[in-house]
Chains A and B, each alone.
Chain A
Amino acid sequence: GAGVSQSPSNKVTEKGKDVELRCDPISGHTALYWYRQSLGQGLEFLIYFQGNSAPDKSGLPSDRFSAERTGGSVSTLTIQRTQQEDSAVYLCASSLTVRETQYFGPGTRLLVL
């Protein structure tokens, strides 16, 4: 079946611009996660959605970052007023429930000039 998909696959933007990253989880998966991976670093947890519960935003690095999940499916991660240090690969994952294996999408490579 279809895996997690993300778009765009690559995004180049200018410092100060806003960007939106999209994630389509595996159908039927109730849990959705966003991570960030900077060059040569491990994945950094950003935010977690589970069903209709309030999301855990504890990993978001600043108030320029926000995310929403509409209808319990598609999620968008928005970065406002992008900075060069926001350059990274943004990975989305989904799992059937909170304790199940997380399946990752291919990521969005963001470059802020």
Chain B
Amino acid sequence: RKEVEQDPGPFNVPEGATVAFNCTYSNSASQSFFWYRQDCRKEPKLLMSVYSSGNEDGRFTAQLNRASQYISLLIRDSKLSDSATYLCVVNIGDSSYKLIFGSGTRLLVRP
């Protein structure tokens, strides 16, 4: 089993739609969680951290379910510019520097 698993997609949605991605992780000792965004042939960039209480940043909402070991990302009112691959990332241990990346979920937002 992969340490971080994501549905590769692609998710093909119209502009304005709401779309949700889930990610599961295998290590119950995981401490920190993130969503990164990666555009085609570009480097990953931090989209948002995921906190236990859940957090929201504009149209983006992230949730963490430790009991079930999954993380979600909800995008409301999708824009064309949201088209990208979304990487679920987990950091194991409070002092660990190793980020474990999922393979990513591809999102295509069409006009």
Contact = CB atoms under 8 A, between A and B. Distances in A.
Q: Do A and B bind each other?
A: yes
Interface in B23-64: 42-46
Interface residues of B, number: 17
B71 interface: no
Contact of A50 (B44, B45, B97, B100): B97
B102 to A, nearest CB: 5
B101 A98 contact: no
B73 interface: no
Interface string B60-99: 0000000000000000000000000001000000010111
Nearest to B88: A42
Interface residues of A, number: 23
Given A106-B42, A106-B43, A48 B101 contact: no
B99 A102 contact: yes
Q: Which of A48, A104, A105 has the most CB of B within 10 A?
A: A104
A103 B45 CA distance: 7
Interface in A60-107: 91, 98-99, 101-107
A40 to B, nearest CB: 7
Contacts of A107: 43
Given A41-B103, A42-B4, A105-B43, A98 B98 contact: no
B43 A91 contact: yes
A42 B103 CA distance: 4
Contacts of B42: 106
16 contacts: A31-B97, A35-B101, A42-B4, A42-B103, A43-B87, A48-B97, A48-B98, A56-B97, A56-B98, A91-B43, A98-B95, A99-B95, A99-B97, A101-B46, A103-B46, A106-B42
Rank and list the top 5 A-B pairs by shortest CB-CB distance, nearest first.
Answer: A104-B43, A42-B101, A43-B101, A42-B103, A98-B97
Interface of B: 4, 8, 42-46, 87, 95, 97-104
Interface of A: 31, 33, 35, 40-45, 48, 50, 56, 59, 91, 98-99, 101-107
